[in-house]
Chains A and B, each alone.
Chain A
Amino acid sequence: MANNEPNIPVNTPSSPPPSKKSYFQRKKEYWGSTQNRKRAIAGYTFIAPAYLLFVVFLFIPVIWAFYLSFTSYTIFTPGEIVGINNYQRLMNDNAFRNALWNTTYYALMVIPLNISISLCLALLVNRKMRGMNFFRAAYYVPVVTSIIAASMIWMWLYDSNNGLINYVLIQLGFNPQSWLNDPDLALPALALMRVWKGVGWNMVIFLAGLQSIPKTLYEAASIEGAGRWMSFWKITWPLLAPTTFFVFVMATISTFQTFGEIYAMTSGGPVQSTTTLVYLIFVYGFERYEMGYASAIAFVLFFIILTLTLINMFITQKKVNYDL
């Protein structure tokens, strides 16, 4: 995508020349060579530690959890295989439906706000000015702050009796609110904090995307008489598409997996208004020890995220590779 040499065409034909040999023939040929084998061994040895960790701590547990989702396993009893009972129970579980809605509502609040604000910030800090690095660092600080520490600070800010936000509201003549104790406000309040916490990360990615757009395009556009707004819509936005896609996918995954701030700030309340899917998994798995059922919820969440990512990929695939 990134190319600072406009004379060289960016787009190269992507389909490889048709091969005369079959896949297996080629493989056989490759592994027949001693040199190739040795290279491969060296290569696999290098990636082995990472893969081993991945397999032991991620891949096997995931497969195991999938198996558990068909059992009545509690951590004290092995449990029996119950077929799809856990999944059937999900269909009629109000707590699950409520958590699914909360998670979707939360994502709908966080993702658009997060992406638009981080893009604006990236555009703001993408210029050469004295002290710009300070601002870049400042916007990034929330990202490296521990979620629990940040949650504590926001709990003070949101405190209904002595919090800074209510103090400001009262000074401005508004009614104070019970931010984290009002079922209608608690989730939006958490979403706001999440946006604050997350924009720095996306800003940095957008910044990288912005800096890879060839300057010459803007020069050409301004010679043609395009204003800044026109340049943004016709150059920046389309060329940022792969970055936006990446940011969107990552933001979707991370907001659907929100847990830390909910655990620290609201424990899923009031009246389950901030119980998201991951928090519900925690409640069933680690408070009630219904690991089988909790695993079933985890897999539903997995398929939701997978589907969203596939849809994203499908929609954006044609548009992502913008031809110059």
Chain B
Amino acid sequence: MEPVTRINQKGEGKVKKWIVCMLTAVLLVVVTACGGEGTSGDGETELTIWVAGNSNQIQETFRAIIDDFNEQYESEGITANVQFEPWGELDQKLSTSLAGGVGPDVFMHGAAAAAGFAAGNQIEPLNAYFDDWADYSEFNPGYLEAGAVDGDYYVVPIQGANRMMFYREDIFQEAGVEIPETLDELLEISEAFVERDGSRFVRAATTLPTEGNDLQQIWSAFLWSNGGDILSEDFSEAAINSEEAVKAIEFYKAFFDRELTPIAGMGGQGDQHPLGTGEVAFTFDGVWAIDQILTYTPDAYEHIKVAAPPRGLEGTTTLVGSSGFFMNANSDHKDEAWKLMSFIGNRDNIEKVSSELKFLPVRLDVAEADFVKEDRLFYEFVQLTTEVDGKANPNVPRWTAIRDIVAANVEKAIYGQLTPQEAVENAEKEINEEINR
């Protein structure tokens, strides 16, 4: 009671002051929280750019590029601040910040995300900028197309992310087999690679994801190689209920049913790649595997080869993925943002990221550069991408939901909860519901 009485006697003014202080503090918090956008002070422009991936190497390479940009555009008063976001969190952080109106001016993302962002008017079409851009014709058209929606271009590509088949030549030799012609033959010879200690795998034939994004990417390549597809040509309905899709599931599932690979996967040890540790004989991986093998298991590098995956019912089709930089449609500094995007896309910078980060070159004039030939695996991989048929995931607004439906149904078939036929029927039904929602 005592302190309250004291306030009552002589603290009336104090209470008022207290309330005023409190309200001021609250207002301050509200104002600073709302005014988070880094904007111009006196003719100066501050840009924010988000780069996907946060490894030390990525940070080093992109910081150097942004420093160069800031130096070059100092006279124009443009400064870019770079932020690195891990791929796993990129989508959520980006979507929420864009929706909240505090997103970066320029950001890196997978090209397949274009349709979703474009449907929400979150990204700026770049057609007008491309018209006056001399470098435009130097880019691999496939990568520019990958980020196009309804004839509008949205992406300045930075990295190709195709998948090929990596394998251990020594393990193949030891088993007395070669890369077979067809996927079915690959399944047949796989038994020769497996080594077990009781029920534990010492070495598996391969490692295959059983859920999510990775499952969809690898399984879809088998589906396409069989001549099937997920959506119809005009993307208006599901096309997954097909004999080709059933065969692709049966093939995928057989690796688990015949105990050629554990359902839990063979993840390697820590950061090591399972090919580097010799725990598997082959994998279907992106170009990023090369750097992982070189960094963490350099001794194994000489044993590793890259090849086009064996043929399915129709031929070989691999997944073509890519990522690049998008412009925020709500940016206050679009012209400056374009200066930054075209700067990153110039020859020197694309060569820099491709050589330092082993990113698949997105410019035709970089694909033939000397550094590509310096690394044997990288060179072979780049060559294969020009020779093997490639296909990208469909660029449709509801793609993430459709992707999840495909992955979830294939997963159910792998675990035996649905037959392959039931899985494709179910996937067809759910995809059509999703498209018509």
Contacts and interface: CB of A to CB of B under 8 A. Distances in A.
Interface of A: 35, 38-39, 41-42, 45, 48-49, 52, 74-77, 159-161, 166, 170, 175-176, 178, 180-183, 267, 269-272, 283, 286-289
B436 interface: no
B264 A176 contact: no
B96 A75 contact: yes
B151 interface: no
A74 B96 CA distance: 10
Nearest to B204: A161
Interface string B299-320: 0000000000000000000000
Contacts of B8: 35, 38-39
B400 interface: yes
Interface in B245-266: 262-266
B4 A39 contact: yes
Nearest to B122: A76
A75 B95 contact: yes
A318 B76 CA distance: 76
A41 B15 contact: yes
Contact of A52 (B4, B26, B198, B401): B26
Contacts of A48: 22
Given A74-B120, A77-B120, A45 B199 contact: no
B129 interface: no
A271 B417 contact: yes
State the main secondary structure of chain B at its contact with A.
Answer: helix
A271 B415 contact: yes
A161 B266 CA distance: 8
A178 B264 contact: yes
B66 interface: no
Given A75-B96, A76-B121, A181 B263 contact: yes
Interface in B184-239: 198-201, 210-212
A38 B18 CA distance: 13
A230 B96 CA distance: 59
B63 interface: no
Contact of A161 (B119, B264, B404): B264
Nearest to B200: A161
Given A39-B4, A161-B201, A161-B264, A76 B99 contact: yes
A161 B200 CA distance: 6
A182 B417 CA distance: 12
Contacts of B211: 267, 269-270
Most chain B CB atoms below 10 A, which of A52, A159, A178, A181: A181
Contacts of A267: 211-212
A272 B404 CA distance: 11
B403 to A, nearest CB: 10
Nearest to A291: B99
B19 interface: yes
B83 to A, nearest CB: 20
A54 to B, nearest CB: 13
Given A161-B200, A170-B198, A181 B12 contact: no
Contact of B99 (A52, A75, A159, A287): A75
